[in-house]
Amino acid sequence: MQFEWKGVMPAVTTKFTKDDGLDIEMFSTNIKAQLNAGVSAIILGGTLGEASTLTDDEKKALVVHTVSLVGNQVPVVLNIAEQSTKDAVSAAENAQRYGVSGLMMLPPMRYKATDHETVTYFKTVAQSTDLPIMIYNNPVDYKIEVTLDMFDELLKHDNIQAVKESTRDLTNVTRIKNAFGDRLKILCGVDTIALESILMGAEGWVAGLVCAFPRETVAIYKLAMAGRIEEARQIFRWFLPLLELDINPQLVQNIKLAEVAAGLGTENVRAPRLPLQGAERKRVLKIIEEGVRSRPQLPHYKNI
């Protein structure tokens, strides 16, 4: 399936049963809610998806099930976050066989590669697949920044098409646009500056709290793109305390608690992650409860 790098693309959580298996039923419930809200794609295997704890068989099961579930409604994108170039190439090849429509790629994991090593890693994978690729640029969490000079080299490969912009530097949106125009599509990867990023020219939003609040997330994007800024701003102001749960080391636990409140998930995480406890749990639940209580009425946003 061909698609454009734009719109709201949820980085979905992986649902687990109480005995640590895949909870396909609850996972399907959440995916259907995302589709009903009007998302543009589904992203599997990101940080929120707890991909580092999944077996290869579990990853395959999730991909195959998701591709079957969504049909031709939206593309499915798989995150590649491997330890070696060889494994990344293999993961990309498998993704294409399983019916994935695009890839999101992190730099090499657990090794702070040089600029040259990072570029070579991305280029090698790009040469091994026909799938379109979005580079995940998150130096805050993963300690490697993909600079404009590096993108200048990477964009010689036609299938490197987008960046998940997670530097947390809003001015980087303008720098990228000044350097590459529309050649490199920008999707904001930081929930708390998503509206600002869209207004500065980002084409899309790889979202986290969308897992619990899909309609509100898509409404903000649609309203902003339609120039209905004040309406988008009012919803975003309501959303911000919830969105701040995404920029936290326990973002997975936080967002899964929010999914529970929205009826779209369970609290089950896979060790070494554990459910929140004590004062932090109370703090997060208070934010979620207030967000649910004051949930705004949305305009008819789907067709604007």
Residue 41 has pLDDT above 80, yes or no: yes
61-74 pLDDT, tens per residue?
999 999 999 999 99
| Residue 1 placed within a domain | no
Residue 163 has pLDDT above 80, yes or no: yes
What is the DSSP-derived secondary structure letter of residue 300?
Answer: -
| Residue 298 placed within a domain | no
291-302 pLDDT, tens per residue?
999 999 999 999
244-285 pLDDT, tens per residue?
999 999 999 999 999 999 999 999 999 999 999 999 999 999
CATH number where 70 lies? 3.20.20.70
| Residue 283 placed within a domain | yes
- State percent of the chain over pLDDT 70: 100
Residue 3 has pLDDT above 90, yes or no: no
What pLDDT sits at residue 148?
A: 98
What pLDDT sits at residue 2?
A: 74
Residue 109 has pLDDT above 90, yes or no: no
Instruction: Compute how many other C-beta atoms are within 10 angstroms of the C-beta atom of residue 60.
Output: 15
15-24, 69-78, 105-114, 207-216: segment of lowest average pLDDT? 105-114
Distance from the first to the final alpha carbon of the chain: 24
| Residue 2 placed within a domain | no
Into how many domains does the chain fold? 1
150 and 115 Cβ atoms separated by less than 8 Å = yes
| Residue 202 placed within a domain | yes
- Per-residue tokens: 118: 């990072």
Give the residue from 96, 53, 77 showing the smallest Cα distance to 189.
77
Domain that holds residue 120: 7-293
| Residue 86 placed within a domain | yes
Residue 111 has pLDDT above 90, yes or no: no
Instruction: Compute how many other C-beta atoms are within 10 angstroms of the C-beta atom of residue 99.
Output: 15
Residue 110 has pLDDT above 90, yes or no: no
Confidence of residue 1 (pLDDT cuts 50, 70, 90): low
Measured CA to CA in angstroms, residue 106 lies from 60, 109, 164, 269, 295 at distances of 19, 7, 10, 22, 34
| Residue 302 placed within a domain | no
The C-alpha R_g of the chain, in whole angstroms, comes to 18
pLDDT mean over 44-48? 94
pLDDT mean over 233-239? 98
Measured CA to CA in angstroms, residue 304 lies from 185, 276, 289 at distances of 22, 39, 30
Spell out where the chain has E strands.
Answer: 7-10, 42-44, 76-80, 102-105, 133-137, 160-165, 185-188, 204-207
| Residue 282 placed within a domain | yes
